[in-house]
Amino acid sequence: MSTAIIHYIDEPHPVTGVTNSKLGIWLFLASEVMLFGALFSAYILLRTGSDVWPHGSTLLNVPLATLNTIVLITSSVTMVMAWASLAMNRFSRYQLYMSLTILLSFVFLVVKGFEYGHKFEHHITPATSSFYAIYFTMTGLHGLHIIGGIIVNLYLLLWGSRLWQTNPKQFTGRVEAAGLYWHFVDLVWIFLFPVLYLL
């Protein structure tokens, strides 16, 4: 059986200046930027190529979206606090803040579910118009990213947290990588909210 050691898990690589996990998450986020960048480009092309384009504020629920924006920004703060708690060697505080992050993630999805449900009750689907096609595509994909973040954060809160007992530095690095992903997801929403709901 091989006993090869993976280097630069806990310590930064001398060339990149970051750990393997941080380099990996930054490369992954670069691909995510390209994915959402393509969707924002499609939105711009659809909007500029359309003779009539509705204002999102006339079709979408701005108060609910504003609430969701506040929820996601707050979840970014709790995610930072979860990581900072580990950096200060306060595991119980980490559990509190990570639980709050996950709870706020579910709140976001529930609010978005109410918004989607209202649209479906009025028989509004992606086939209704180009505006709703891009709206459901972009917010739906963002919602899938929220679900992915919930799964990762739940793992780090429950089963994955056992690593804290044997290698707290590596576990803190994993939480930091998950935090970078979560901040990206929040940042995407900060762009989606004005583009779809306010303009």
142 within some domain: yes
Show the low-confidence residues of the chain (pLDDT under 50).
Answer: 1-2
CATH number at 61 reads 1.20.120.80
52 within some domain: yes
Residue 88: which domain range?
Answer: 20-198
153 within some domain: yes
**pLDDT at residue 6, as a whole number:** 64
100 within some domain: yes
**pLDDT at residue 4, as a whole number:** 55
Per the CB < 8 A criterion, the answer to whether 104 and 185 are in contact is: no
**Helix-strand-coil split of the chain, %, nearest 5:** 80, 0, 20
pTM: 0.90
What is the count of structural domains for the chain?
Answer: 1
80 within some domain: yes
Per the CB < 8 A criterion, the answer to whether 184 and 30 are in contact is: no
150 within some domain: yes
d(CA 60, CA 116) in angstroms, rounded, equals 10
139 within some domain: yes
**pLDDT at residue 154, as a whole number:** 97
**pLDDT at residue 11, as a whole number:** 72
- Residue 75: which of 109, 25, 37 has the closest Cα? 109
**pLDDT at residue 5, as a whole number:** 66
**pLDDT at residue 51, as a whole number:** 84
**pLDDT at residue 18, as a whole number:** 76
**pLDDT at residue 1, as a whole number:** 47
Residue 171, C-beta contacts closer than 8 angstroms, at least 6 positions apart? 86, 156, 160, 161, 163, 164
Count of C-beta atoms within a 10 Å radius of residue 147:
12
5 within some domain: no
